[in-house]
Structure 1
Amino acid sequence: MKFYIREKIFSIGDKFSIQDASGNDVFNVEGKVFSIGNKLKIYDVDNNEIVYIEQKLFKLLPEYNIYLNGNYAARVKKEFTFFSNRFDIDSNMGNYEIEGDFLAHDFSITKNSSTVAQVNKKWLSWGDTYEIDINEQENYAFILAMVIVVDQVLHDNKKNNNG
């Protein structure tokens, strides 16, 4: 199933809407404006919190925890490698990895060595837009949370390198 994440450029703090292929809002993401470390929540269309994402502080490399419906689900950690960029996911939902060309915003998410999601950045629209194609057997909110973590890490790296 395809989803689209559009970052709202003019909002205070992090705000994203997640839409399906028909353009219907299916999730909303809101970040805390004045918090130490990134903290984001994903809400369904009825405004129920279904995912909480929290940045772990004082880590050499970026690291986030993901909670589904209030329960710990995973730790997403950027790995240091000389030849490739990748994120390692320690999850109670399976063995996931995120690899690809992060500078081009083109990457895949694998579970037990099989691709479960493909992510591509669309440069044509006003504001950043990700197209995420997720296998139907996967937990959509969980996969989308991982994509949002990657986006936060890329955004923070860009901000730190320019500021």
Structure 2
Amino acid sequence: MYLIREKIFDIGDDFDITDDSGNKVFHVDGKVLSLRDKLVIEDPSGREVAAVHRKLIALRPTYAISIGGQEAAEMRKKLFTPFRDKYTIDVPGPDDLEMKGDLLDHEYEVELGGSRVAQVSKKWFTIRDTYAVDVAPGQNDLLILAGVLALDLAESRAERKRAEDAARDQDR
């Protein structure tokens, strides 16, 4: 199991991914003022192992995931999914992952061919926002973690847009 804890007051949205014992597994470097909502995932020695960034030319929220400098997947939100969020983590070949969940409860499942390969739970603590990510043995942990980060970027961006729209409507 992994824990992704965002440091609320850290400039640039940098945070760590730890195992359930609290040991740092990855560091996530949020690129300040990035138009593309870019995150770089580093191993404990500071070497980049993966990256996530928003694709600028896309009709729906789309994020590219690279691992080891190579494009590994593209995550896209499905357009019409009433009452549930659904995302596809499109990997080359037939093994696409589906991420399904409830935006209000912050609970998601990652499936491969209809079988659950990871469980994602977003829990609110006193001042921190935390995801618990439980990945089944034999799965690509880094790809699933990058998918969760892309999900968080997409949801945060949608939340900011909703807030801006509400403020604009209120000014009218």
The reply to whether TM is greater than 0.5 is yes
Unaligned runs of 5+ in 2: 165-172
Structure number with greater Rg is 2
Match of 2:131 in 1: 130
Match of 2:86 in 1: 86
Partner of 2:96, secondary structure, is: strand
1:60 aligns with 2:59: yes
Percent identical residues: 38
Shift of 1:133: 0.5
Instruction: Using structure 2 for the length normalisation, give the TM-score.
Output: 0.89
Match of 2:39 in 1: 40
Q: Which whole-Å CA distance do the structure 1 matches of 2:132 and 2:33 have between them? A: 29
- Which range is displaced more, 20-29 or 96-105? 96-105
Moved over 4 A (4+): none
Q: Which whole-Å CA distance do the structure 2 matches of 1:137 and 1:102 have between them? A: 28
Match of 2:98 in 1: 97
Q: Which whole-Å CA distance do the structure 2 matches of 1:118 and 1:32 have between them? A: 27
* Contact residue 53 and residue 150 of structure 2 kept, 8 A: no
Match of 1:109 in 2: 110
Match of 1:27 in 2: 26
Q: Which whole-Å CA distance do the structure 1 matches of 2:36 and 2:96 have between them? A: 26
Instruction: Using structure 1 for the length normalisation, give the TM-score.
Output: 0.94
Shift of 1:62: 0.6
Partner of 2:80, secondary structure, is: coil
Unaligned runs of 5+ in 1: none
In structure 2, give the amino acid aligned to 1:160: K
Shift of 1:82: 4.2
Partner of 1:35, secondary structure, is: coil
- Distance 1:72-1:154 versus aligned 2 partners, 3 A rule: same
Shift of 1:147: 0.4
Q: Deviations over 1:107-139 (max 9, x none)?
A: 110112110000111223421011110012012
Q: Which has the higher strand share?
A: 1
Q: Which whole-Å CA distance do the structure 2 matches of 1:82 and 1:17 have between them? A: 31
1:77 aligns with 2:76: yes
Aligned residues: 162
- Which range is displaced more, 125-134 or 63-72? 125-134
Match of 2:170 in 1: none
In structure 2, give the amino acid aligned to 1:89: I
